[in-house]
């Protein structure tokens, strides 16, 4: 009877481990097997009640510190132009930006460097519409882009990437006529060539899924923002937005072997893609998405963010902003969302004081992950100004002196009840911001096992992008000196409660500082938690307590 009871206790605990995403890497090794160096795992056939857990004496409140983690925050925007032979003229400039260490800034500067880079790739040389050749170049030569992505990987920086045919990303469209109608465009004359280019892009992206935060669908229109061009305005096969739908499908099919998010410029593109019978100027019924759905990878980038009630045309359904955002939650709760914060000299700018608290709440609703540090400088300078006052004097194109003056409250209360500038709140809360709210470490009488109970809270606007599988590694550092020991727990970090145990038989007696490293499988792209005094920059891990053997 006793052996049966022990079996049921063990199998119940195993089920818990599986459900929480935690299973020791060597769970089924024999108890007397020899462990390799830095691997002290063993059989976990034990009763959790045999462990005495102690709540650890660490800070459980948000430190208010500025933290830069992968796939989130302010980004620096860089444009690279690829010639038909694949050469990139400004390759060194972009790599210089990536080589910059992230600045721990406390005030707004448009030249600040962060962990995230927005890479805009000019492929206008491959468009017959732009370069005037009779035949478009069929294959994209992206070989020289590899050095940029490899450099980002080495510097633990992540990349949002967009491809477009707009020459110099400067609204350079070519006027022409199609079926008797006048249009402007910059894309290849052959749509099949455009689709072939997307296939080339997808093959490239698949090599750098650890580096790429998201692919912005782009391709067509000025700045690659999917509007004001033939392929964004003309019907295809009688279907409104048919060309856009075909572009999205080509990307999703091409990226089917990886999980990189695909972000599009307007919610209506998602509506139309999911429902060919979609009625214009309506908000569809909410959708339930599962991770195994191809649509799970769809998201939004917003380069008109908070510039007006419609985000300068991003939201197309009149007076239904809240409804559209509610619909989008099914997509943005796991994909990165962001773009460019826009200035509007009229009363429509939603970031203004009368809207500021609602703006912050909406950032949680849309799960804001990233913004351009250089755009818009007026909004961001005001957001960081003293007493909410900002003035900018300039001369317009007609040599007429003008000024921009903003006098608005720019204070927001943080989770600790303190007022701070809107800019400070943004820099701390964009993306995810996890803290440990409970850390318990247990030991058995024989001191052969260590049990862990960890709980987390996310104070950030967004979650970790769904395609990031962050493993949890324990690092035991002897307090009296000596070599550290590491063990991957096989727990995937997702911010939920984690309960697991490891064998400590190979550890010598003594006290150990225990650290939790949250990173990719290879140790790259570690995540810093926001608790005060937890982060060790050398270990790139967070202290979660003390273990005594």
Which pLDDT value is given to residue 24? Answer: 40
**161 CB-side CA count, 13 A:** 28
Q: Which two tokens mark 182?
A: 């006048």
The C-alpha atoms of residue 513 and residue 476 are separated, in whole angstroms, by 6
Least confident of 176-180, 401-405, 406-410: 176-180
Least Cα distance to 518 among 461, 456, 462 occurs for 456
Q: What ranges in 126-241 are assigned the alpha helix state H? A: 128-131, 146-154, 191-205, 230-233
Distances (CA, A) of 313 to 54, 157, 169, 215: 55, 31, 19, 21
Least Cα distance to 320 among 268, 370, 273 occurs for 268
Percent of the chain with pLDDT over 70: 91
Q: At what angle do helices 146-154 and 91-99 cross, to 10 degrees?
A: 10
Q: Element (H or E) spanning 303, and its range? A: strand 298-305
* Cβ proximity of 54 and 351 under 8 Å: no
DSSP-assigned letters across all residues of 11-71: HHHHHHHHHTT---TTTTS-TTPPPPTT-------S-GGGSEEEE--S--SB-------TT
* Cβ proximity of 420 and 412 under 8 Å: yes
Distances (CA, A) of 337 to 174, 365, 521: 31, 11, 25
Which pLDDT value is given to residue 32? Answer: 31
Between the two ends of the chain, the Cα-to-Cα distance in Å is 32
Least Cα distance to 373 among 113, 183, 12 occurs for 113
Across 325-334, 343-352, 443-452, 504-513, the highest mean pLDDT is recorded for 325-334
Least Cα distance to 334 among 271, 270, 261, 285 occurs for 261
Q: How confident is the model at residue 94 (pLDDT cuts 50, 70, 90)?
A: very high
Which pLDDT value is given to residue 46? Answer: 52
Max CA separation in the chain (angstroms): 93
Q: Which two tokens mark 70?
A: 């992968």
The C-alpha atoms of residue 186 and residue 220 are separated, in whole angstroms, by 7
Least confident of 39-48, 165-174, 268-277, 347-356: 39-48
The C-alpha atoms of residue 281 and residue 440 are separated, in whole angstroms, by 52
Q: Does position 318 have pLDDT exceeding 70, yes or no?
A: yes
Q: Which two tokens mark 511?
A: 């006290």
* Cβ proximity of 102 and 126 under 8 Å: no
Q: Could you tell me the sign of the dihedral formed by the alpha carbons of 254, 256, 258, 263, in that order?
A: positive
Least Cα distance to 214 among 483, 408, 390, 462 occurs for 462
Number of H helices, E strands in the chain: 12, 23
* Cβ proximity of 447 and 69 under 8 Å: no
- The single residue listed with the structure tokens 């009625």 is 279
List CB contacts of 380: < 8 A, sequence separation 6 or more: 108, 110, 341, 373, 423
- Whole-number average pLDDT of the chain: 89
DSSP bridge partners of 455: 438
Span 143-186, pLDDT tens digits:
999 999 999 999 999 999 999 999 999 999 999 887 888 889 99
Least confident of 23-27, 253-257, 409-413: 23-27
Q: Does position 95 have pLDDT exceeding 70, yes or no?
A: yes
The C-alpha atoms of residue 206 and residue 224 are separated, in whole angstroms, by 21
The C-alpha atoms of residue 225 and residue 125 are separated, in whole angstroms, by 18
Span 218-262, pLDDT tens digits:
999 999 999 999 999 999 998 999 999 999 999 999 999 999 999
The C-alpha atoms of residue 20 and residue 491 are separated, in whole angstroms, by 8
Average pLDDT score over residue span 360-374? 97
Extended strands (E) in 317-384 = 337-341, 368-372
């Amino acid at each position: 009877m006793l052996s049966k009871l022990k079996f049921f206790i063990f199998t119940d605990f195993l089920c818990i481990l599986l459900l929480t995403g935690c299973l020791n890497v060597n769970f089924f090794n024999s108890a007397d097997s020899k462990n390799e160096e830095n691997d002290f795992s063993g059989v976990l056939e034990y009763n959790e009640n045999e462990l005495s857990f102690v709540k650890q004496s660490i800070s459980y409140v948000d430190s208010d510190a500025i933290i830069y983690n992968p796939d989130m925050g302010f980004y620096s925007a860089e444009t690279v132009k690829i010639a038909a032979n694949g050469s990139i003229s400004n390759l060194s400039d972009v790599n210089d930006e990536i080589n910059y260490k992230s600045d721990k800034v406390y005030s707004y500067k448009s030249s600040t460097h962060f962990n995230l880079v927005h890479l805009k790739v000019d492929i206008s040389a491959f468009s017959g519409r732009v370069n005037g050749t009779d035949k478009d170049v069929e294959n994209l030569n992206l070989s020289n882009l590899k050095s940029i992505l490899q450099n980002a990987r080495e510097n633990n920086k992540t990349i949002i990437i967009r491809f477009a045919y707009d020459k110099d990303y400067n609204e350079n469209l070519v006027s022409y006529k199609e079926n008797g109608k006048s249009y402007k465009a910059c894309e290849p004359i052959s749509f099949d060539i455009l689709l072939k280019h997307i296939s080339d892009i997808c093959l490239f992206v698949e090599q750098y899924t650890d580096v790429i935060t998201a692919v912005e669908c782009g391709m067509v229109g000025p700045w690659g923002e999917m509007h004001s061009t033939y392929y964004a305005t003309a019907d295809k096969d009688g279907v409104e937005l048919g060309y856009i739908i075909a572009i999205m499908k080509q990307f999703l099919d091409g990226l089917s072997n990886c999980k990189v998010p695909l972000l599009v410029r307007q919610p209506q593109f998602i509506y139309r893609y999911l429902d060919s019978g979609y009625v214009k100027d309506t908000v569809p019924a909410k959708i339930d998405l599962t991770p195994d759905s191809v649509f799970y990878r769809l998201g939004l980038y917003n380069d008109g963010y908070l510039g007006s009630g419609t985000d300068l045309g991003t939201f197309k359904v009149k007076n239904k902003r809240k409804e559209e955002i509610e619909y989008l939650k099914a997509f943005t709760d796991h994909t990165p969302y962001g773009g460019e914060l826009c200035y509007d000299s009229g009363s429509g700018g939603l970031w203004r004081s009368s809207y500021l608290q609602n703006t912050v709440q909406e950032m949680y609703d849309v799960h804001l992950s990233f913004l351009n540090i250089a755009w818009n400088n007026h909004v961001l300078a005001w957001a960081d100004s003293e007493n909410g006052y900002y003035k900018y004097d300039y001369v317009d194109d007609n040599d007429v002196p003008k000024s921009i003056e903003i006098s608005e409250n720019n204070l927001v209360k943080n989770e600790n009840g303190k007022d701070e500038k809107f800019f400070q709140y943004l820099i701390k809360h964009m993306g995810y911001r996890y803290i440990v709210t409970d850390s318990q470490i247990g030991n058995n009488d024989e001191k052969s096992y260590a049990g862990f109970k960890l709980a987390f809270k996310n104070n950030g606007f967004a979650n970790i992008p769904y395609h990031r599988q962050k493993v949890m590694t324990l690092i035991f550092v002897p307090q009296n000196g000596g070599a550290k020991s590491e063990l991957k727990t096989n727990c995937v970090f997702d911010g939920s409660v984690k309960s697991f145990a490891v064998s400590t038989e190979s550890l010598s007696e003594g006290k150990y500082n225990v650290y939790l490293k949250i990173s990719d499988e290879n140790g790259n792209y570690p995540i810093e938690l926001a608790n005060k005094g937890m982060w060790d920059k050398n270990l790139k891990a967070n202290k979660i307590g003390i273990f005594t053997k």
